[in-house]
Chains A and B, each alone.
Chain A
């Protein structure tokens, strides 16, 4: 009962929001964006009247640097938005999305770091397009042979890909430099008003703002893409691949595009991560993270960009926040430790009871409802 009433409330909010004048909606969105930009500033909370220094904050994470948490969350949101193209729009299961993130990060590291064997010493900005390109190409290499086949092979091949990248990075001493990793990756360029470098190790805030800007740009691009010919082709493929093929949609081509675009976004986020971290080794690319990104997309609602954002924010931010709350009430527990267990359970439960996610894509929600109606009521068949 609660589920249906909540659903009703949510869709009521949605239709009211949609019915508002365009100006109001834009103003609302602009306010949200401004809010997100000032979120990491401490003065903002002082202004709101939260007692700084005590353990009590509304959404400040007390156990870890808030700007860093925001940055990590934003990276996660960007990944979720990218994976949403693959899983949500085109309906392909990519279990190794973090592999592309690793490819992007390693490309930047190898091209820019003075410690790298390549000795190219590029600036960070020049390496970013190359990282995106390499991630895209690796997506095509991976997707080329598998996308022609049944979708489930893609799942296992991508899963293997992510783990192989990590294993190779961990063991290979020549290029990836094993556990030692690649240090001294340069920061993004730019100097602040006070003449100091804008991006440094001192604060995560500029990186958060950078990635927030990137996310906003990507979201606009994705929205347009989803409403374009390509986006319609993806929906057709997701709903019925054979029918789409018969109707003249070149399914393989568009599936490959979805995969490559998803990979490119993954590579981009990896490149930004490398620029912030200045040091990467194989431990930064654990397979669990691929699953967390997938959980984020599913939880939020595959096929809906808003859903991907909500899911991405929840999967990373919530455990960090809970850690602070736990400290507040005197319970010492590391919510991040249980993160994968909890989100694994959430995924299973969601698939059974709410497969369309928290903020569903309307068409997908309708698909699930249709299929459920078609299900043969097995209880009426005397089995035993």
Chain B
């Protein structure tokens, strides 16, 4: 164990952990929303994220950026980022909705047992990732460098980069927006009602199928944002990029309390940070292991997560 590495780089490990955790959190929102309403682990959500990373890349390629072009000036940069963001969000949401309409809805209509939903979810996940795998020849794709990483200021000896500020800022904005939407708007009230009691909600005039669709759309939009941030920060994508992110995001959702939006944010950030500490302490081999071990330990001692499971019981 390397305590020097952990304590020497504590602030830096924390900030990079938060940065990664923010992406986990955004993906975790999709799991949590769907789980809260349908009690279903949507395995295909990791692929929803993957679709976002590719479509953002294709958008930038359409704009003429590739790995050899220099970073654009401020104006074109904003245009490229916003275009990539819009396309990624729409594509991810469309993927999520497609999976719901093609795979899950027919099962609900047939009153299939929960096991059938899970099997379908994993099938959908592999169909998506394999079709991208075959289409892209299973190669990793590099991103154009849109924002060169540079240190803006230092905090407790940890360099804070512009990308970290961007990622944390965007995540916070999305998070607050979604939280407000679910807790304040009329549609959000529908989501909470169905999460709490689907049958009663239906009796009260909530259109259950529309709420479910909305949940998939929201999850997809968040995954699209996460995909764009991933592209900008990590600079590559691959057909199976979603798998590990998906697994960690799900762990994050459970960590914070699945079905709980704020829990997803907390869980994501916490997981990112803990993972980085573990990498510092035990070495990089163990990084991906940490989230998984954390998930098992958590299920053993507090299966409802840190903040409890409550999309339905969220503050009115």
Contact = CB atoms under 8 A, between A and B. Distances in A.
B123 A345 contact: yes
Interface in A332-384: 337-338, 340-341, 343-348, 351-352, 355, 367-368, 371-372, 374-376, 378, 383-384
Nearest to A347: B123
A368 B300 CA distance: 32
Contacts of B75: none
A36 B123 CA distance: 31
A305 interface: no
Interface string A146-190: 100101110111011101100110011000000000000000000
Contacts of A70: none
Per DSSP, are chain A's interface residues mostly helix, strand or loop, or mixed?
Answer: helix
Nearest to B247: A160
B78 interface: no
A348 B113 CA distance: 14
B296 A157 contact: yes
A91 interface: yes
Given A155-B118, A355-B112, A383-B207, A348 B124 contact: yes
Contact of A145 (B109, B120, B300): B300
Per DSSP, are chain B's interface residues mostly helix, strand or loop, or mixed?
Answer: helix
Given A163-B247, A374-B111, A348 B285 contact: no
Given A341-B126, A341-B127, A348-B124, A152 B296 contact: no
Interface stretch (B154-162, B227-235, B287-295): B287-295
B119 interface: yes
B299 interface: yes
A171 B285 contact: yes
B122 A352 contact: no
Contacts, number: 130
A67 interface: no
B133 to A, nearest CB: 8
Interface string B113-138: 11110111011111100110010000
B209 interface: yes
B152 interface: no
Given A151-B115, A157-B296, A337-B134, A164 B288 contact: yes
Contacts of B296: 142, 145-146, 157
A159 B44 CA distance: 13
B303 interface: yes
A352 B130 contact: no
Contact of A351 (B107, B125, B209): B107
A152 B114 contact: yes
B250 A156 contact: yes
B120 A351 contact: yes
B126 A288 contact: yes
B260 to A, nearest CB: 16
A156 B247 contact: yes
A351 B123 contact: yes
Interface string B41-84: 10100000000000000000000000000000000000000000
A351 B124 CA distance: 11
B306 interface: no
A352 B40 CA distance: 16
B63 to A, nearest CB: 31
| Count class of interface residues, chain B | 35 or more
A75 interface: no
A348 B123 contact: yes
Contacts of A343: 126
Contact of B131 (A153, A155, A341, A372): A341
A298 B251 CA distance: 27
Given A348-B127, A351-B123, A371 B111 contact: yes
Contact of A155 (B41, B285, B289, B297): B41
B120 A287 contact: no
Contacts of B102: 348
Nearest to B286: A168
A153 B292 CA distance: 12
A291 interface: yes
B202 to A, nearest CB: 9
Given A156-B250, A348-B103, A164 B126 contact: no
A4 B194 CA distance: 37
B114 A157 contact: no
Contacts of A152: 39-41, 114, 118
A93 interface: yes
Contacts of B251: 160
A294 B119 contact: yes
B285 A298 contact: no
B102 to A, nearest CB: 8
A168 B120 contact: no
B224 to A, nearest CB: 23
A348 B120 contact: yes
B176 interface: no
B177 interface: no
Given A295-B123, A372-B111, 7 more contacts: A155-B41, A156-B250, A298-B119, A348-B103, A348-B127, A371-B111, A372-B110
Interface of B: 39-41, 43, 102-103, 106-107, 109-116, 118-120, 122-127, 130-131, 134, 207, 209-210, 243-244, 247, 250-251, 254, 284-285, 288-289, 292, 295-297, 299-300, 303
13 contacts: A152-B39, A152-B41, A155-B43, A157-B295, A161-B292, A163-B243, A163-B247, A164-B289, A164-B292, A167-B288, A341-B127, A344-B126, A352-B103
Interface of A: 87, 91, 93, 95, 142, 145-146, 149, 151-153, 155-157, 159-161, 163-164, 167-168, 171-172, 287-288, 291, 294-295, 298, 337-338, 340-341, 343-348, 351-352, 355, 367-368, 371-372, 374-376, 378, 383-384
